[in-house]
Structure 1
Amino acid sequence: MSDESTLERAAARAARAEALLDDELLNEAFDALEKSYIAAWRATTVDDAAGREKLFLAINIVGKVRDHLAGVVANGKLARAELKQLAETAERRKRFGII
């Protein structure tokens, strides 16, 4: 990353994703979905391989959504660090008359 506007967008997205990950209602929804999918998966009959496969995928998708949000947060932290470094570099150049 290098474009400041791109970095700022990534930092803003990270703040939104972090708020979602910290949201009690959303976490409750994720947990309820996982529990209901697991219960339905366990209740499938022996000959319902297709049903088990769909439920297995549904369980994993809930985790993938959480992982995606965590990745957005991580990218935003990197973007914030890069923005800080850019600001410090600009300040040093200004202080030493390079600009």
Structure 2
Amino acid sequence: MSEERTLETAAARAARAEALLDDELLSESFDTLEKNYIAAWRATTVDDAAGREKLFLAINVVGKVRDHLAGVVANGKLARAQLKELAETAERRKRFGII
């Protein structure tokens, strides 16, 4: 895959990830899951260490999914900037007859 195609793919993925992060239903789902896991975690008994551990992991997974989507958005912004730079460089070369 060419560099330009890779950058275009990253930019497209960023747009999709940004739409997901902006989606009210998905955001509400993440918040609800996190609140429910925290409530269940707090309601565990003293001797339920395994249950607390599983709930702790579940809480962290919700955050990791959010972080992954935010990372895709950040990578896409960088890819768009690189695509812009490539286009500007190609335009300068064309203007000066280098191509």
Q: Distance in 2 between matches of 1:93 and 1:78?
A: 23
The answer on 1:91 being equivalent to 2:91 is: yes
The 2-side partners of 1:98 and 1:16 are apart by 37
Tell me the SS of whatever aligns to 1:66.
helix
Structure 2 portions without partners, runs of 5+: none
Compute the TM-score of the two structures, normalised by the length of structure 2. Answer: 0.98
Shift of 1:81: 0.2
Q: After superposition, where does 1:22-33 map in structure 2 within 5 Å?
A: 22-33=22-33
Q: 1:52-95: CA deviations, max 9, x gaps?
A: 00000000000000000000000000000000000000000000
Q: In structure 2, what residue type is equivalent to 1:39?
A: A
Q: How does 1:1-99 map to 2 (within 5 A)?
A: 3-99=3-99
Q: Distance in 2 between matches of 1:34 and 1:86?
A: 42
How far apart are residue 28 of structure 1 and its match? Answer: 0.3
Aligned residues between the structures: 98
Question: Tell me, which stretches of 5 or more residues in structure 1 are unaligned?
Answer: none
Report runs of 4+ in structure 1 exceeding 3 Å deviation. none
Q: Give the superposed CA RMSD.
A: 0.7
Distance apart, 1:41 and its partner CA:
0.1
Percent same amino acid among aligned pairs?
90
